[in-house]
Amino acid sequence: MAREIDIKKGLDWTTVWIYIILLGIGLINIYAAVYNVDNPKPIYSLDHNAGKQILFMGLAFFIIMVILFVDYKVYDTFAYLFYGFWILVLVLTIFIAPDIKGSRSWLRFGGFQFQPAELAKTITLLALARYLSTQGISVTKFKDLLRACVLIFLPPLIIILQKETGSALAFGAFIIILYREGLPGVYPALILAFIALFILGLVFEGQIWIVLLGLALVAVLFWYLFLKRYERNRQNLQRVIGLFILFSGFVMAIDFALNNVFAPHQQKRIMVLVNPDVDPLGAGWNISQSKLAIGSGGLFGKGWLQGTQTKFDFVPEQSTDFIFCTVGEEWGFVGVFVVIALYFILITRIFNLAEKQKFKFARIYGYGVGSILFFHLLVNIGMTIGLIPIIGIPLPFLSYGGSSLLSFTILLFIFLKLDAHRSYKV
């Protein structure tokens, strides 16, 4: 049996305090985003999102207490059971959830709404940590890697059927876990290469020959500059030519799909990624107004509740997916720096704690927590400054929403519970 521990001593309080600070920053910015100058209401009023967020925070603290006082072995022992049950919930959501803006991803319980896709990341991470920590399992074995990929990609496939693409894309963060556990670096490198080629395909849309010429030049330089003379054999030549054909085919497929498969409005949404001016009053509106709001904050910002872009609702969803705009406008570069610094400290600390774990399950789970938070941070901020397409991903602990707040809280504090037992024998 596990020794009883003093949870107060075992808990990593630095991480806890960063969590609390981020919640506080989120709350005051949610209030700023919904504040009405003509009809001001207190921050605790349930008539706006800030008041509701306070209720979600109270529920989050209750859940934290439950997580911290439940036996930590529960998360390992019942990981597969949790996973199977949540897969069933995700499937049922497709059929019983109401249609909200074309998406069937929200379950309603009276006046309360919950998005199962948010918690699916935590449930999947538990199952993946359980599988990869099983003796004899290694991602260097194709069969084991394939099974791990099935565990990872089954939930997002179901989520895509709910037409909730943003939440599904967040599962891409799991590649960091696989890499840490021994996945050859060529796989992440290929993923990054395809992402870069996708962006280049958009930038040079209509002039795809430039990208193809560039790929040919890279292939030649690689052959003569990076391969030693004895490595220039027939087998490596076939590999270089094969990669050139693969990458060239991918670029041409992007160009063909963009011009012949996607509808005009879909083309605009994609092209906004590289040029928001393509449709400034339509698909490019959010990005343009978001960048304007952040840029107008200057060094120190306009001051709390003084943001003009915020007050006049120029940026849609400003208390949820675009909460970072409020931070930039009202608190300026200094406020943005503080928020990003807090996230940087939080994520790096989680990775450091994960590396110190004695048990493989806790280490894998910890890396998953850091990876998911990093992915959300990267995509959300990239989205608000126009570097990434708008896909509807919340900023952890800052964005308004019960589903995201509770899911991120559960994700983080399960790891803190596991970490609290690091110095104790089992």
Give the model confidence (pLDDT) of 190-238 as tens digits: 877 887 887 777 767 777 888 889 889 988 888 888 777 777 788 888 8
pLDDT of residue 373 exceeding 90: yes
Give the model confidence (pLDDT) of 235-285 as tens digits: 888 888 888 898 888 888 877 777 776 656 556 656 665 565 555 555 566
Separation of alpha carbons 155 and 124, rounded Å:
8
Residue 58 tokens read as 């109270």
Q: Print the domain residue range for 419.
A: 1-54+279-360+371-426
> Is 350 in the same domain as 384?
yes
Task: Kindly state the average pLDDT of the residues 156-179.
Answer: 86
Separation of alpha carbons 358 and 423, rounded Å:
9
Is 94 or 37 the better-scoring residue by pLDDT? 94
Among 326, 305, 335, 300, smallest CA distance to 384 is for 326
Report if residue 365 sits inside a domain: no
> Is 311 in the same domain as 337?
yes
> Is 209 in the same domain as 177?
no
Under 8 Å between Cβ of 364 and 132: yes
Give the model confidence (pLDDT) of 333-369 as tens digits: 999 999 999 999 999 999 999 999 989 999 999 999 9
Average pLDDT of the chain, as a whole number: 84
Q: What's the structural domain count of the chain?
A: 3
Under 8 Å between Cβ of 283 and 265: yes
Predicted local distance difference test score (pLDDT) of residue 142: 86
Separation of alpha carbons 90 and 120, rounded Å:
8
Percent of the chain at pLDDT > 70 equals 88
Predicted local distance difference test score (pLDDT) of residue 172: 86
Alpha-carbon dihedral angle through residues 307, 311, 316, 320, given to the nearest 10 degrees: 70
Last residue of a domain, one of 184, 216, 249: 184
Residue 145 tokens read as 């890697």
> Is 254 in the same domain as 175?
no
Predicted local distance difference test score (pLDDT) of residue 418: 93
> Is 286 in the same domain as 154?
no
> Is 387 in the same domain as 246?
no
> Is 246 in the same domain as 290?
no
Give the model confidence (pLDDT) of 67-92 as tens digits: 998 888 999 999 999 999 999 999 99
> Is 324 in the same domain as 411?
yes
Separation of alpha carbons 42 and 35, rounded Å:
9
pLDDT of residue 100 exceeding 50: yes
